[in-house]
Amino acid sequence: MHTPNTSIATRSARGWALPGIANLHSHAFQRAMAGLAERQTDPADSFWTWRETMYAMAARFDPDLLRAVASQLYVEMLEAGYTTVCEFHYLHHGPDGTPYAQADAMSQALLRAARDAGIRITLLPVLYMTGGFDGRPLSARQQRFGHSVDAYLRLLDTLRISEGDTVRIGCALHSLRAVPSDPMHEVLTALPAASRIHIHIAEQLPEVEECIALRGARPVEWLLDSVPVDARWTLVHATHLDDGEVQDIAGSGATVAICTTTEANLGDGLFPLRDYLDAGGRWGVGSDSNSSVDPVEELRWLEYGQRLRAQRRNIASSMRVPSVGSTLLNGAVASAADSTGFNQSDVIVLDADAAILAGATEGDVIDRWIFSGNRPLVRDVEVAGARVVEDGRHRDRDAVAARYREAMKVLLA
């Protein structure tokens, strides 16, 4: 494992200081449906039936509603210890696919939400072109996601004007099933050299099987054989890998964004973490569908899922780095710059006066934070030199929550 064995926790005047955590994968609008897809709709409920609920919620959004929901989500992220969010954004147009008069209206809503909250954002507008590996057209419910290559590249060009200290604009290819090979190559050729590139891949077994049937290779295998994947790339999920793919992703320098709580919620499966760590792979975490907004839960259940599968303890550890918490957090911190495009360091401070951290040391405070329960321990958060969370409360928590409540009345009407 390429995990540092030095502590990244330091004691400050206000508590235990740690690097801010990057959330490598988020769909902000899905926060509005948290808890609303937990009723059986089919005896074989899966990701594919969950999508029906997601499509119904997606159809209700406009730019104002998206800004209100995203602002609330980003406040929650900051209070939990996320200081950067990679927003994988595909609600581009009106519900019937008609572009807004301002073509980037939905993207701008997310940038305003990030500015409202004070979180760094790597906005990843999504290219979404087809409904499956067979090239079938987008369904009626997917029309608002779609772009031609030319329109997509124009969108990226427009948005790059917004880049600054707390904003990066990257590229998201929705998935191999939604982006055919030729358009993918055309977009990749047109991107700036430093552009970050994210893609959903190998999340579901049916996706893997369809890719083998129609492209003659597993999804990750096809991607690595077809385009020059390097450290600019973040592969989201990559849940279903064979041994060769594990080794090849690690060798490419790409980062895997593991979204444990969403992968559990959707019944996706478990990422092969131990094999990937042994191969020297790079990884981070994301909240994805935002049914949970807490890096502690992502990291804890990343480890716990491995324990349940292996039926033993302390999977993400080694004799060199025996602390599971340090392995998990160090890995997430180490990959952040390559996935987000931000090199700046933000700070979160844990409440050293919290009873659960009594007697904590540099050597055990991360383990105690991640594996000690669910009481919030983040006291302060500083992003780009500004304190946005103090004593556990975001500076605009109440005003943002009030706008969110009004938005939810509309969305659920």
CB 356 within 8 A of CB 347: no
DSSP per residue, 53-121: HHHHHHTT--HHHHHHHHHHHHHHHHHHTEEEEEEEE---S-TTSPPPSSTTHHHHHHHHHHHHHT-EE
In angstroms, the CA 124 to CA 133 distance is 22
- Give the residue numbers annotated as catalytic, written as ranges: 237, 288
DSSP type of residue 299: H
Residue carrying structure tokens 């988020």 = 26
Cα–Cα dist 168/161, whole Å: 10
What H or E segment, with its residue span, contains residue 127? strand 120-127
Burial 97-133 (b: 16+ CB within 10 A, else e): eeeeeebbbbbbbbbbbbbbbbbbbbbbbbbbbbeeb
